[in-house]
Structure 1
Amino acid sequence: MTTTPLTLSPVVVTGAAGFIGSHLTDALLAHGTEVIAIDRRSVHKDPVAARNLADALTNPNLAFHQADLATDELDELDELISGARIVFHLAAVPGVRDSWDERFRDYAASNVVATQCLLTACERAQVPRLVLASSSSVYGQTSGPSTESDPTYPMSPYGATKLAAEHLCMAHAARPDTSTSVVALRYFTVYGPRQRSDMAISRVLAAVLSGVPVPLYGDGQQSREFTYVDDIVAATLAAAAIPGEVGAETVNVGGGSSVSMLELISVVGQITGRKVPLTMEAPRAGDVEATRADLTRAHALLGYSPRVELRDGIARQLDWMVKQPSPQSISEPSVGEVVLR
């Protein structure tokens, strides 16, 4: 797979203190790339941000800036991205359930308004490429593998904000006076070390480790294409390095297969040698029956093929979880349920 050339330094990573953003930041620093990391969370006050960037913060090639893309002064953002060759836009509020309630204003600001502000700044700074982290949630209910040309019918406000961010990117990339090309990557349920504590695999593993039952919503037949974070990072780096005139592209990034929640629970039981404690709950608004990615375009444009199989990836995540000194004190706020995206 193609990787980001070191000559593209410096690069900007928004949402750098998050689950995927911190892994991407680590990978870029490992390449010797100069990284301008932006996140609205404080690495001094937020324990999750501090944990995720613990190694990166010791690297002299990292410059961390606490900033809110949606509300901070535009001239400050202009200064941060000035001279950047690549901007990786991962900053967003994630999760389906919370997007239905009073938090929607935060979703709209962080996922839509912030994207518009960043795109405008990229055009002023003449950044050659922006890579957007989108989501499989834009598809909604599907009957088979999703292709990038399929209709999009998001079933949650969260999915709607991610699709809006994509449309903003495409609109800006189509401007005749822009020099910023865009690659929007539709991530399919990402897992691995540092995964948010409210997501499915984290919750199932935590249930095994603690003995506290995890809610299973519906009949357990709903399926997801789980994608290991290292594969996500590899695809994201490749998106930055697509040669030639890109304009605007949308690309699925998945794990290669879709499994049901019952199959996932079985795999966790086999890995740990323990039964996963469950409580059965009614289905939730916004959850789709299945996600599955057609990776034809990812193969062609990114040279992408997922490398980490689900069993191996879950074992790596479990190993990371048991090594955490105090999982409860550093876990991100949980809504007490499995999140399927």
Structure 2
Amino acid sequence: MTKALVTGCAGFIGSHLTQRLLNDGVTVIGIDGFVDNYDVAAKLRNLAEIGSHPAFTFHSTMLQAERWKDWLDGVDVVYHLAALPGVRNSWGKAFAEYVSHNILATQLLLEACMQRPKPPVIVVSSSSSVYGTMQGTLTDESAPLRPVSPYGVTKEAMEQVCSVYVKAYGLPITMLRYFTVYGPRQRPDMAFHRFFRQMMKGDPVVVYGDGQQSRDFTYVTDAVEANILAGRHAAPGEIFNVGGNREVKLIDVLNIMGTLMNISPKISFQPGPAGDSLRTCADIRLAEQRLGYRPQVSLEEGLRRQLADMRFQPRS
């Protein structure tokens, strides 16, 4: 790979991926529309972390602008991370925005890639939200898709759109279902960021639900590695879980955070909102076998790194 397009390059995962590609000697075209689902200043800080690398060209615009000649010329791999994230905000009138950013914009991208003389490999970011609340032991990629939020519905629909382009046109698309990514630059609306910030201020930590809900947490550089591996090794139409290989209850995460900060967190339990999964648990064996994906950063180490980063960032 010599040239890549990263959509959503100023976001949490996108900025880390862009940095990794540049460090690997790849020329990167980055696109970000600065959707105001959270403080744009955080995204600008992410861009500042990338810096003025001579191999990086940035376009501040939405995919709907359709400047494909500028964006796709000479590109070998497209990493499509641009999306409107967040379960709790996807209800009501906001659903139309989720459809626009998560489904319609993706279809525009696929159409543009299909028109290239040689279509680039396309690695699409999906979410464990497509599964809903998981049952049994580990959840593999063949599990039923039962999203419990409008956000999850848009991610499932996006996957279906990608699948029909693979079947109809052989477009080289692979999809990655992330399981709760965390680490430095995590969005301020996400749980770990909120928990650390509340502890820093001495405020009670607000937990929605009883704290017994569990998650499979993925450190951001492991998610980035999954993208790189998928761009190199995945076959058209393949879908992979990207997890941290460990299911942990939220209350236990808070205890780890408290230990890192040398405090005993004060917890305020609030009613759980509609659309939250009670359990996620990734079976990552397919990604291990097909891509060579193996998560490298433990939850304890990842939380330590996120805390260290947040202590140097403006409060948000």
The TM-score with structure 1 as length reference comes to 0.88
Equivalent position of 1:77 in the other structure: 68
CA deviation profile, 1:272-319 (whole Å, cap 9, x unmatched): 111222211111101111000001101011101111000000000000
User: Structure 1 residues 172, 78: closer, same or farther in 2, change over 3 A?
Assistant: farther
Mean Cα deviation higher: 118-127 or 15-24: 118-127
Equivalent position SS for 2:93: coil
Equivalent position SS for 1:216: strand
The alpha carbon displacement at 1:12 in A equals 0.1
Equivalent position SS for 1:54: helix
Q: 1:15 aligns with which of 8, 12, 15?
A: 8
Equivalent position of 1:294 in the other structure: 283
Superposition map of 1:101-250 within 5 A: 101-125=92-116, 126-143=118-135, 144-176=137-169, 178=170, 180-242=171-233, 246-250=235-239
Instruction: For 1:327, give the aligned amino acid.
Output: R
Alignment of 1:60 onto 2:61: no
Equivalent position SS for 2:283: coil
CA deviation profile, 1:90-146 (whole Å, cap 9, x unmatched): 000100010012211111100000000000011112323100010000001211211
Instruction: For 2:14, give the aligned amino acid.
Output: G
Equivalent position SS for 1:131: strand
Alignment of 1:281 onto 2:290: no
Looking at structure 2, the residues matched to 19 and 130 of structure 1 have their Cα atoms a distance apart, in angstroms, of 19
Equivalent position of 1:254 in the other structure: 243
| Aligned sequence identity (%) | 42
Looking at structure 2, the residues matched to 151 and 281 of structure 1 have their Cα atoms a distance apart, in angstroms, of 30
The alpha carbon displacement at 1:208 in A equals 1.2
The alpha carbon displacement at 1:55 in A equals 3.3
Instruction: For 2:315, give the aligned amino acid.
Output: P
Equivalent position SS for 2:233: coil
The alpha carbon displacement at 1:214 in A equals 2.5
Q: What is the alpha-carbon root mean square deviation over aligned residues?
A: 1.4
Instruction: For 1:264, give the aligned amino acid.
Output: V
Looking at structure 1, the residues matched to 156 and 78 of structure 2 have their Cα atoms a distance apart, in angstroms, of 19
Count of aligned positions: 311
Looking at structure 2, the residues matched to 13 and 281 of structure 1 have their Cα atoms a distance apart, in angstroms, of 37
Q: 1:26 aligns with which of 19, 31, 39?
A: 19
Looking at structure 1, the residues matched to 164 and 185 of structure 2 have their Cα atoms a distance apart, in angstroms, of 33
The alpha carbon displacement at 1:54 in A equals 1.0
Q: 2:88 aligns with which of 81, 91, 97?
A: 97
Equivalent position SS for 1:23: helix
Q: Which consecutive segments of 4 or more residues in structure 1 shift more than 3 A?
A: none
Listed as ranges, the gaps of 5+ residues in structure 1 are 1-7, 329-341
Equivalent position of 1:338 in the other structure: none
Listed as ranges, the gaps of 5+ residues in structure 2 are none
Instruction: For 2:103, give the aligned amino acid.
Output: V
Equivalent position SS for 1:111: helix
Q: 1:86 aligns with which of 77, 96, 100?
A: 77
Looking at structure 1, the residues matched to 236 and 218 of structure 2 have their Cα atoms a distance apart, in angstroms, of 27
CA deviation profile, 1:65-102 (whole Å, cap 9, x unmatched): 01211x31x3x124311221100000001000100122
Equivalent position SS for 2:89: helix
Looking at structure 1, the residues matched to 303 and 147 of structure 2 have their Cα atoms a distance apart, in angstroms, of 28
The alpha carbon displacement at 1:204 in A equals 1.1
Looking at structure 2, the residues matched to 314 and 81 of structure 1 have their Cα atoms a distance apart, in angstroms, of 36
Mean Cα deviation higher: 49-58 or 296-305: 49-58
